[in-house]
Amino acid sequence: MTEHRIDASLESAIDVFTAERAPVLRVGPGDTVTVRTLSAAGYTERQQQPGVDVPTLLDPRRGHCLVGPVAVAGARPGQVLAVRFDALVPDDWGYTGSGGVDTPVNRALGLADPTSRGPLLWEIDPERGVARNQLGLGVRTAPFLGVVGLPPEPSGEHSTIPPRAIGGGNIDCRELVVGSTLYLPVTVPDALLFVGDGHAAQGDGEVSGTAIECGMTTTMTLSLLDTAPVEGVHADTPAGRITFGFDADLNTATTTALDRMVSWIAGEHGIGRAEALAMASVAVSMRVTQVANRTWGVHALLPHGAILA
């Protein structure tokens, strides 16, 4: 195993997914990579007041400020890239935006007008695991990366905003904390992994469109699998096993996540799909991962030990 380090810079940062960019780092299966990413906006300076923009690394910016691609030597379509999160350390400050943008959610809440913005500015204490904002209110942190993904196709530039069934990307799942492994079906040769969009804390749904957005130092181990227990993007986390569904239609996203969890339960316990669905009904929680990214994200969570064999 070899250890690598890469930091966000003009040479390593990008705001799209693409397989046509030369890798910024090449690693072997089983290697560990430490990546320093900026916030989703790519701010290069600390905000001094809530909602006040500061310089960004990429200007203009089309999507999330990511680092990548990281090539995993020998990866090929048909395999699965396993991304194990060994450490996730947020920067000491972050921000959360709210309102002021014309979205269906903001319109429903009466917060679409630009004057209705409610930005928060956070001081983050990574050692204590607490973040506190300018209102004097605090939350416990649970750091993770919002964007971990592969190019969906061998050619072209692809937005970082919507999560995808092919390649993952802007998944925004709060369960992907330290100790989690995210499984991404390989879409292109050498996998070409992009990461970023650090979140110090987030609730299921990311309902304002942002979490506690922050820079992050992530240590991850990258491995390749020839087979996986279930199709599509899935994960094994401290909270339990997770399957995902992504679609513009909430019903389709929900059904996809549930279908894959049913398959996982059936295969694990050697039972039929009807019986597995019945077990899911009493042991699995369906959660809305995020509502903010033009595509619904839903995940099915089966806690460890929930099914007793």
In the three-class reduction of DSSP (H, G, I as helix; E, B as strand; rest coil), residue 88 is classed as strand
- Per-residue pLDDT tens listing for the chain (309 residues): 799 999 999 999 999 999 999 999 999 999 999 999 999 999 999 999 999 989 999 988 899 999 999 999 999 999 999 999 999 999 999 999 998 888 888 899 999 998 888 899 999 999 999 999 999 999 999 999 999 999 999 999 999 999 999 999 999 999 999 999 999 999 999 999 999 999 999 999 999 999 999 999 999 999 999 999 999 999 999 999 999 999 999 999 999 999 999 999 999 999 999 999 999 999 999 999 998 887 999 999 999 999 998
Please check whether residues 203 and 247 belong to one and the same domain: no
Instruction: Check: CB of residue 280 under 8 Å from CB of residue 261.
Output: yes
Please check whether residues 192 and 296 belong to one and the same domain: no
Please check whether residues 241 and 217 belong to one and the same domain: no
In a domain, 47, yes or no: yes
Instruction: Check: CB of residue 152 under 8 Å from CB of residue 187.
Output: yes
The residue among 232, 243, 253 whose CA lies nearest residue 297 is: 253
Please check whether residues 130 and 276 belong to one and the same domain: no
* Cα separation, 25 vs 32, whole angstroms: 12
Beta strand 144-149 with 168-170 is antiparallel
Q: What CATH number is associated with residue 277? A: 3.10.28.20
Please list the residues that pair with 157 across neighbouring strands: 18
The residue among 40, 42, 38, 68 whose CA lies nearest residue 54 is: 42
In a domain, 27, yes or no: yes
Please check whether residues 190 and 250 belong to one and the same domain: no
Number of residues that this document lists for the chain: 309
What does the longest C-alpha to C-alpha distance in the chain come to? 57
In a domain, 23, yes or no: yes
Please check whether residues 140 and 247 belong to one and the same domain: no
H helix or E strand, kind and range, residue 30 = none
* Cα separation, 139 vs 248, whole angstroms: 31
In a domain, 86, yes or no: yes
Name the domain count of the chain: 2
Range(s) of the domain holding residue 39: 3-225
